[in-house]
Amino acid sequence: MAETKTARVERTIREWVGGGKLSPGDKMPSERALSEELSIGRTALRQVLARLVSEGVLEVRGRSSYRVPEPAPGQKRSGATTSGELEPWQIYGDRPVYNNRWVRLELVDVEPPGVKRFEHHVVRLQHVTITAVLDDRDRVLMLWRYRFVPDQWGWELPGGIVEAGEDARASALREVEEETGWRAESLEHVVTYQPMVGMVDSPHEIFVGRGAAKVGDPTDAEEAGRVEWVPLADIPDLMARGQLMGSGTLVALLHVLATRK
């Protein structure tokens, strides 16, 4: 079965990092150079790079400059590279089982060290942003929504899919405005993480905003909910009662609570 273009490019970059072609601290070639050398479009390349950044294989410096991260003092490197006696899994390719705009299910041909080669199920979801917008009264902008999958009502932060070719920060600003009718005045990127790293690939980018202006009514009917400014003092109780939905909401709010002065 032929290897997909994105899988080939991802494997190649992992081999560069794990095989010694690139060392800790080395800067990656520019997106333009990578696109030409690896014969892949810029949009697809950015998706691969975002996945490698979320796993810690690469790190971002500046707007679109990538490099191999340095290990922290006293810490072994992890991810795609060798770590002492540990070795990464070998990835030989993948084949799609189901694919649409929202979800892709693949069987990935893998060989863990010391284990017989087999096909591993991998679910690839979209690259998303989640944003906690705070005001000067120590409140956070939230949505009270119904989610049919868990059959539950609860509080969520605004967020959504990063569209093809869209900057994550621009996506975060757009989603806040579309879902709440408020426009954030500033945004700070907090972390990019994977919520279910064992089998699901879905980079989540967390932003925190300060200040917002009301610009109209929500325009995203599918994601509509009751929009409210919720006091941060209420968040621990809402969490204890199970009324905060989604890992992105929890990660963002835990960060806000942990860094409050």
* pLDDT tens digits for range 171-189: 999 999 999 999 999 999 9
104 vs 82: CA distance, rounded Å: 29
Average pLDDT over residues 19-44: 85
Contacts of 116-121 with CB under 8 Å at 24 or more apart are: 117/90, 117/92, 120/199, 121/199
Most confident of 22-26, 39-43, 48-52, 147-151: 147-151
Token representation of residue 95: 């084949």
pLDDT of 1: 46
230 vs 138: CA distance, rounded Å: 9
pLDDT in tens, 197-218: 889 999 999 999 999 999 998 8
Residues 6+ positions from 171 with CB-CB distance below 8 Å: 129, 160, 161, 162, 163
Residues 6+ positions from 169 with CB-CB distance below 8 Å: 187, 189, 207
Q: Which one-letter amino acid corresponds to residue 23?
A: S
3-state SS assignment for residue 117: coil
- Angle among Cα 138, 147, 188 to the nearest 5 degrees reads 35
Length of the chain equals: 261
User: What is the DSSP secondary structure assignment for residue 70, as one 8-state letter?
Assistant: P
62 vs 72: CA distance, rounded Å: 20
- Angle among Cα 50, 53, 55 to the nearest 5 degrees reads 115
pLDDT in tens, 85-144: 567 888 888 889 999 988 999 999 988 877 888 899 999 999 999 999 999 999 999 999
